[in-house]
Structure 1
């Protein structure tokens, strides 16, 4: 029996939709109100996942939640500075309550950079970037571990960077944080495999986001 191109497309579309469905899955995306995080929230929710995200800015968070509600996405959010341990704990307590003690997907997306030459970094710069970029991802992963294990189908994704492999101007601390994140992903993938938790790091290159535009403005001054 011959199948028309339209019929083939219809079958393919149905197969793709079924293959990539995230219906019934739960996800936590840190820093999901802008840049890559915003895109990740929309992608997960678009495939049917129930998503919780966080932002340091309440107004920004509320605006995004209204936007997602209008699109029919199931997304909730918390105000949280992930560099603070107490706020990290509160975030995971909220996630546990909303998702009945189980979490399928954790996206450690939050990241920041201060564009300076290596010798111009202060101790405060290093502490702030390390706590935001690396320590937050480590601690949130540890806090999320019981929820991921309980789901029996957990996945952790670290949003790293190509800068962790290739030196780039004005990003020494950021790149070092991301390199540490890559190594952490390797260790967790080994330690947590027995609990059916997959761990991966994604290394995007330059992406036009608000963070990139801010860095370019600083460098041009």
Structure 2
């Protein structure tokens, strides 16, 4: 562990964390001592990842969650609040999906799917986490972005729209 900084006594929620970038975020954060709760839509991947993290001695728990479901998001935040005594230091809005196809082939369902998963879920998680972040006295919200939010790609225009570079920091009850 790098001795220059630590995440000891910090709590985090990472969405879409059973694989990919989310998995790597959990590995790094847990390695610096954070207690983390993760969610993923795949129970199989989630259980596999939780088992791997347990073997490494990381403090990681998890829940199955379909982030497109408002009730699932609310239930997840209740779980997080209970686990972390009503406080949260870090929210990582990582979950993201891509239905890659040429722009002219997208249909209304593709648009709704990307918006509900990549944008609406992140916004709602940010709202739901606000009281927990404020209660911690120090809170950060991380929105995972994508190069496709800056650079045009032939087969992911809606995905790019939902992943425009964004970043906010929560402090003192204000998100900016």
Per-residue CA distance 1:86-128 (angstroms, 9 max, x = gap):
0000000000000000000010000011111111001111101
CA-based RMSD:
1.6
- Aligned equivalents of 1:20 and 1:99: distance in 2? 22
1:150 partnered with 2:150: no
Q: What's the offset of the Cα at 1:63?
A: 1.2
CA separation in 2, counterparts of 1:39 and 1:134? 21
User: Within the alignment, does 1:124 sit opposite 2:124 as a pair?
Assistant: no
Deviations for 1:32-68, whole angstroms, at most 9, x for unmatched residues? 1000000000100000000000111112111111110
Matched, 1:195 2:173: yes
For the Cα contact (< 8 Å) 1:153–1:196, is it kept in 2?
Answer: no
Q: Does 1:70 align with 2:55?
A: yes
* Equivalent in the alignment of 1:213: none
Is the CA contact (8 Å cut-off) linking 1:23 and 1:47 kept in structure 2?
yes
Within 5 Å, give how 1:1-221 maps onto structure 2: 16-17=2-3, 19-179=4-164, 182=166, 185=167, 189=169, 192-195=170-173
Question: In the alignment, is the contact (CA less than 8 A) between 1:152 and 1:196 conserved in 2?
Answer: no
Alpha-carbon distance between aligned partners in 2 of 1:77 and 1:193, rounded to the nearest angstrom: 26
Which has the higher Rg, Structure 1 or Structure 2? 1
Deviation at 1:195, TM superposition (A): 2.4
Say which structure is richer in helix. Answer: 1
Contact 2:26 2:36 in 1 (8 A): yes
Question: Structure 2 stretches of 5 or more lacking a match?
Answer: none
Cα displacement string for residues 114-170 of structure 1 (whole angstroms, at most 9, x for unaligned residues): 111111001111101110011110000100010001111101100011111111121
4+ residue runs of structure 1 moved beyond 3 angstroms? none
